Amino acid sequence: DANFIQNYYASSRLHHLSTFKIELQNYVIELRRQRGLTSESTGSARASGRRCIMYVDFDCFFVAVGLRSRPDLRGKPVAVSHCQNPSEASSSDIASCNYEARAAGVSNGMVVGRARQLCPNLIVIPYEFEQYREASRTLYQILVATTPQVQVGGMDEAILDVTNLINDQSADKGAQTKGVSRESVCAKMAESLRQQVWEATQCQVSVGISENILLAKLATRWAKPHGQYYLPIEDAPTRLAPLPVKHIPGIGETTARKLADAGITTIRDLRNQPLARLQDMLGPKAGLNIQRMALGQDDRPLVTSPPRHSVGTEIGWGVRFETPAQVDKFLRDLCQEVHTRMATASVRGKSVTLRLKRRQEGAGEARKHLGHGLCDNFSKSATLPQLTREADALYQTCSRLLGQLAVPPVDLRAVGIQVQKL
């Protein structure tokens, strides 16, 4: 099908999630430039001691945007998904659900069929990607107008370093005790941001506030929905101790299970482990990082203009081929897509990786309609003849890699390419 890739991307939420993030990073740089703030000192460069970090995150973002034009649905359980029928067997993903739906056990990423079992009166509304894009951009306009020290966390979340702003305002107020003053000045600033975002977007954000990125992010959990929460760093040991390890950013499903197998389930457990044991399980750097986080320690500065290290594209849905010629055509189209993105970003690369998924021996049809199902992954990289972004050069090299990986077209379930060494 000639326009498969374009049509697919037009409907893929995960594609939009990823590409909006890149676009927002560039947008923030542009907003800073417009305000003549490019070379502003860092948010905490002047300060030697305590930082003040704010984590700003829209509440059930896609649903909140969708409900603006559907006020009659407020108060009812609502989810955003492609699902068009009332089936309890739908394998369509829920991108976002509101708090009414969550009360029934529904969560983001769940398939609609399962969600309907938990919440039979769940209402499904469609995606509105352009509206999400607009709301995100409005959020970032407001944030950059407050401080240039903004890190893009994603389409619906951002991190601010307001240390210098807070210190200046605390100093202006003169005599007040430092600790109390800082907290109240932070709280006022967060109130103001939430109000501005609400007025400009008719969507709510929550704000977590603390002294580093980790604690500010964890604080947003207590801030939601549509609230704010200041987590004093002194309280961190007590507040973090009982939380499941999965709350630490970087610990996902797989790592949490691995830790559970070793009897480690809470952040307290993580903190009490000998460092060497965590490092044996997770590796030297990961073990150290995770134990530091368990202690509430995080000295990472904001990254306000992250350098780009790779440009890639991958499709793992609807991939069902019969002939090598079909695979070849698909690969050509992917190379063209990457070429276009590299041109937009004004980058060229010296190395390319081909990534494939191959249907596992004996795996039946995927649980998800036209999904990749159970697969084995393969990747192979090669150096490009020169620093390039030309679609044809990418294709020549990828085509060779495809031959080397030798996956029968019928067994292919995903194809992707990624260019690096930019």
Ligand X SMILES: Nc1ccn([C@H]2C[C@H](O)[C@@H](COP(=O)(O)OP(=O)(O)OP(=O)(O)O)O2)c(=O)n1
In 296-388, where does DSSP find H-type helix? 324-345
As measured in angstroms, the least distance from the Cβ of 224 to ligand X is 5
Among 282, 327, 335, 384, binds DNA (CB under 7 A): 282
Among 20, 27, 55, 58, binds Mg ion (CB under 5 A): 58
Could you please report the per-residue DSSP string of 206-225?
EEEEESSHHHHHHHHHHH-S
Among 107, 310, 336, 399, binds DNA (CB under 7 A): 310
Residue 50 CA from chain centroid, whole number: 27
Q: What angle do CA 16, 248, 375 make, to 5 degrees?
A: 55
Per-residue x/- track, 206-245, ligand X (CB under 6 A): ------------------x---------------------
Exposed (0-12), middle (13-18) or buried (19+): which is 241, by Cβ within 10 Å? middle
**What distance in Å separates the CA atoms of residue 132 and residue 126, rounded to the nearest whole number?**
12
Residues numbered 58 to 77 that lie near ligand X (CB under 6 A) are 58-62
Residue 369's binding partner, choosing from Mg ion, ligand X, DNA, none, with beta-carbon cut-off 5 to 8 A by kind?
Answer: DNA
Residue 250's binding partner, choosing from ligand X, DNA, Mg ion, none, with beta-carbon cut-off 5 to 8 A by kind?
Answer: DNA
- The reply on whether position 76 binds DNA by CB under 7 A is no
158 dihedral zone (left: phi>0; alpha: psi -120 to 50; beta): beta
What is the strand order of the sheet 375-388 is part of?
310-315, 412-420, 349-359, 375-388
The span of 49-57, 234-242, 373-381, 404-412 binding Mg ion (CB under 5 A) equals 49-57
Q: H-helix or E-strand containing 357?
A: strand 349-359
With a CB cutoff of 8 Å and minimum separation 6, the contacts of 309 are 420, 422
As measured in angstroms, the least distance from the Cβ of 199 to Mg ion is 19
- The reply on whether position 7 binds DNA by CB under 7 A is yes
- The reply on whether position 64 binds Mg ion by CB under 5 A is no
Which residue has 């490019």 as its token pair? 38
- The reply on whether position 13 binds ligand X by CB under 6 A is yes
The span of 52-60, 111-119, 240-248, 388-396 binding ligand X (CB under 6 A) equals 52-60
Residues numbered 132 to 171 that lie near Mg ion (CB under 5 A) are 156
Residue 203's binding partner, choosing from ligand X, Mg ion, DNA, none, with beta-carbon cut-off 5 to 8 A by kind?
Answer: none
- The reply on whether position 156 binds ligand X by CB under 6 A is yes
CB 24 within 8 A of CB 152: yes
Among 256, 260, 302, 393, binds DNA (CB under 7 A): 256
Q: Which neighbouring-strand residues pair with 228?
A: 207
- How many residues in the shown chain lie near DNA by CB under 7 A? 79
Residues that bind Mg ion in the complex, under the rule CB under 5 A: 57-58, 61, 156
